[in-house]
Amino acid sequence: MATEPSHSPADDLLDGGLDVLHRKSLTILKRIRDSALDPETGQKRGPTFPISKAAKLVGRTSSAIREAERDGRLPARGRTASGHRVQYNLEELDNMREVFGTRPWRQPEDPAAVISVCNFKGGVGKSTIALHLAQHFAIQGYRVLFIDCDSQASSTMMFGYRPDVDLGEDDTLYGHFHNPELLGLKKIIRKTHFHGLDLIPANLRLYNLEYEIAGYLARTQSAAIIDLISDAIETVVDDYDVVIMDPPPALGMVSMAVLQAANAMVIPVPPSLVDFASTVSFIDMANTTMKQLEELGGRGRPAYNFIRLVGSRVDDSKSMHREILSMMRQVFGGSMSSSVMVTSAEIDNASSRMKTVFELEKPVTSHEVYNRCMKHLVEVCREVENDVLETWTSSRGGRRP
């Protein structure tokens, strides 16, 4: 007897083609996104801290906080069912810093740090480092703007958006390019679940900027358009201490505009020969491109206040990684960070839940893996924070330990 050919889910997808595949993928994305949201507010939840950690973050002692709550300078604190003080969120930390006079904001004469986390190589950990850096600065009390400049929009997704469903083209830098008068950069800046961290999101439509800028350049023969992002940042930068840009992994028009807008670079480099070689090409190409832009009459070559290379996706149990790291330290010298981003299951696990490690309420793997990953992340972020503080004359000498 002839048997019916079995019809697998893969056959279903082939039957319906890419359209079905796309719809099914969106359902999965929605499911993951929904599980990352707080069921009460429908938003992602920002981090909260017990009083001891809050005290460290605001630069005072726990007893100073308790005293301020007693004498009414800070609001009285509620208790949990088990009698502990309810944990403090970032907005409450900001209020404490205001009361205690410990906000770390830059003085108006200090330049905001406009950092591009860049490398033309894909998958080296740019978005991961950019997001953790942005959240680190916000947790420390700085005012931060994150600009997702990559049409893949993986960072935008980590803020709780389904980029191509929840956002239109006018919500991104693409909208700003087409209608700066109407939209203004302020209209495309969104508050996020992290108090103190604002976002300009991206989605797939942003990719059109690549050929639209190229077309504009060809028509006008003027490089002024490359100042698009730089000009946009200038209009809002007074409100921020740090701007972090997450560019796409290619030397396209948007990447050029990002290089032009930045006054500092963080370059993630995994310790493999291939990644090292392509990072060297990236530095060479970036240099050549900036020179060409200058010749075309753009704003001129930006002076980078610092360039920090960070070993990323490092597995120090591999002797080859250790060897290449040591070679990179010889070549790049003081520009190479002394701490590295280790490859950690905690980062992978957190990102599969649409979270950063700083957003995890508890370890996904084990306390040991989590603590180790957290230690490396914080060390890398602190090094970059110190690079920024060194550019602020008003805080010179105030490097963090």
Ligand X SMILES: Nc1ncnc2c1ncn2[C@@H]1O[C@H](COP(=O)(O)OP(=O)(O)OP(=O)(O)O)[C@@H](O)[C@H]1O
Cα 264 from Cα 229, distance rounded (Å): 15
Cα 132 from Cα 138, distance rounded (Å): 10
Cα 368 from Cα 6, distance rounded (Å): 47
Contact stretch for ligand X (CB under 6 A) within 78-86, 196-204, 331-339, 347-355: 347-355
320-329 contacts, C-beta under 8 A, 24 or more apart: 320/271, 320/272, 321/271, 321/272, 322/271, 324/271, 324/272, 324/273, 324/276, 325/271, 327/276, 328/269, 328/271, 328/276
Q: Which is closer to Mg ion, CB of 126 or CB of 143?
A: 126
Phi, psi dihedral angles at 310 (to 5 degrees): -120, 125
Q: Which is closer to ligand X, CB of 247 or CB of 298?
A: 247
Residue 347 near which of ligand X, Mg ion, none (CB within 5-8 Å, type-dependent): ligand X
154 touching ligand X, by CB under 6 A: yes
- Parallel/antiparallel/unpaired status of strands 264-269 and 242-246: unpaired
Binding mask 107-136 for Mg ion (x = CB under 5 A): -------------------xx---------
Q: Which is closer to ligand X, CB of 102 or CB of 154?
A: 154
The gap between the terminal CA atoms of the chain, to the nearest Å, is 78
Q: Which is closer to ligand X, CB of 89 or CB of 135?
A: 135
149 touching ligand X, by CB under 6 A: no
Task: Enter the DSSP assignment of 314.
Answer: B
60 touching Mg ion, by CB under 5 A: no
Q: Which two tokens stand for residue 31?
A: 């499911």
Residue 122 near which of ligand X, Mg ion, none (CB within 5-8 Å, type-dependent): ligand X
Binding mask 84-123 for ligand X (x = CB under 6 A): --------------------------------------xx
Q: Which is closer to ligand X, CB of 266 or CB of 347?
A: 347
Tell me the CA distances in angstroms from 125 to 167, 269, 304, 315, one per residue in order: 24, 8, 21, 14
State the alpha helices, DSSP H only, in 264-352: 273-295, 319-332, 345-352
249 touching ligand X, by CB under 6 A: yes
- Parallel/antiparallel/unpaired status of strands 88-89 and 48-49: antiparallel
Contact stretch for ligand X (CB under 6 A) within 23-31, 209-217, 273-281, 336-344: 336-344
**Amino acid identity at 192:** T
Contact stretch for ligand X (CB under 6 A) within 62-70, 94-102, 148-156, 182-190: 148-156
Q: Which is closer to ligand X, CB of 130 or CB of 185?
A: 130
Please pick, from the candidates 57, 347, 357, 389, the single residue that binds ligand X as defined by CB under 6 A.
347
Asked if 34 and 165 touch (Cβ cutoff 8 Å), the reply is no
Q: Which is closer to ligand X, CB of 195 or CB of 313?
A: 313
Residue 141 near which of Mg ion, ligand X, none (CB within 5-8 Å, type-dependent): none
Cα 32 from Cα 35, distance rounded (Å): 5
313 touching Mg ion, by CB under 5 A: no
Number of residues that bind ligand X (CB under 6 A): 18
168 touching ligand X, by CB under 6 A: no
Phi-psi region of 254 (alpha: psi -120 to 50; beta: other; left: phi over 0): alpha
Asked if 356 and 246 touch (Cβ cutoff 8 Å), the reply is no
Find the shortest distance in angstroms from Cβ 108 to Mg ion. 32
156 touching ligand X, by CB under 6 A: no
128 touching ligand X, by CB under 6 A: yes
Binding mask 301-330 for ligand X (x = CB under 6 A): ------------x-----------------
The binding site for ligand X (CB under 6 A) comprises 122-128, 150, 152, 154, 249, 313, 341, 343-344, 347-348, 351
The binding site for Mg ion (CB under 5 A) comprises 126-127
